Amino acid sequence: MRLTAAFIAAGCLVPVAAQSLPPARRACPEVRTITVTGHGTATAEADLAIIHVGYQTYGPNEQSAYNAAADRSSAVMNALTGVGVAKADIESTGQALTRTQPYQLQQYPIDSEERINHTFTVVQGWIVQATPDESAKILNAAIRAGANYSGWIDWKMKDETQLQTQAAAAAADNAWALADLLATKMKVHITHLEYLSQLEGVMNPWGSDQPGLVGGNAGFSVMGPDNRQLAIHARKVEVQANLQATFAVE
């Protein structure tokens, strides 16, 4: 756990209603406090993989591009359900038919057949929820069916409540330890907790692979017959909690 700087403040807490009273009638005992910020972290291996699957295909005109996309879309969907993915675990993230941008066509010679065949572009994508152990199989099936823009995975927990609780408890322990240390150094004693607030935490900073593992023209278009798949292992999910605590001292 990390320790952060803190300060001791001396002051008087006066209710709003009492601020209009003469000084002699105000009940204003001195309150001395220590304010600290506690940090806590909890980690666990992800038990949920959100797999990004998609494709990019082309055609010389809108109709041919769309027809090619429809064939590939059906092939990818059949591949996913064929390896046991329930349709409820597949969600569309987007689809579009557009004219290919000029800068994308510059790699092909002018008036060449290849350039003409890339006049229109269709892209479509899905996310697939699965267990980490199933992610390699699912990704392998999708790519072999034509999902040539696939590969990145978001690693999550099905229920992050336990990690959040652990991180918060660690942050509370950290705050108490820091307050005790400062109180000892300053020769005062903590009497009670005056105020506690939860600062914004950080969820899953390690939770995603970088996008673009497989690009639009990546080398997964030609594969051998042995159906080998990538080795994929779940990543750690981390939750951070931050608490600010004010303790009364004497």
For the residues of the chain, what is the DSSP string, one character each? ------EEEEE----GGGTTS-GGG-----EEEEEEEEEEEEEEE--EEEEEEEEEEEESSHHHHHHHHHHHHHHHHHHHHHTT--GGGEEEEEEEEEEPPHHHHTTS-TT-HHHHTTSEEEEEEEEEEE-HHHHHHHHHHHHHTT--S---EEEE-S--HHHHHHHHHHHHHHHHHHHHHHHHHTT--EEEEEEEEEEEEEE-TT-BPPS-SS-TT-TTSS--TT-------PPEEEEEEEEEEEEEE-
Q: Do the strands 90-99 and 48-59 form a parallel or antiparallel pair, or are they unpaired?
A: unpaired
Rounded to two decimals, the pTM is: 0.73
pLDDT of residue 230: 85
* pLDDT digit string (tens) for the chain, length 250 residues: 343 444 444 444 444 344 444 554 445 567 899 999 999 999 999 999 999 999 999 999 999 999 999 999 999 999 999 999 999 999 999 999 999 999 999 999 999 999 999 999 999 999 999 999 999 999 999 999 999 999 999 999 999 899 999 999 999 999 999 999 999 999 999 999 999 998 776 555 444 444 433 333 333 444 445 678 888 889 999 999 999 999 999 9
What domains can you pick out in the chain, each with its CATH number?
7-44+160-203+241-249 (3.30.110), 48-158+205-238 (3.30.70.2970)
pLDDT of residue 220: 40
pLDDT of residue 137: 94
- Could you give the strand order of the β-sheet that contains 7-11, starting from the edge strand earlier in sequence? 7-11, 31-45, 236-249, 190-203
pLDDT of residue 163: 93
pLDDT of residue 201: 61
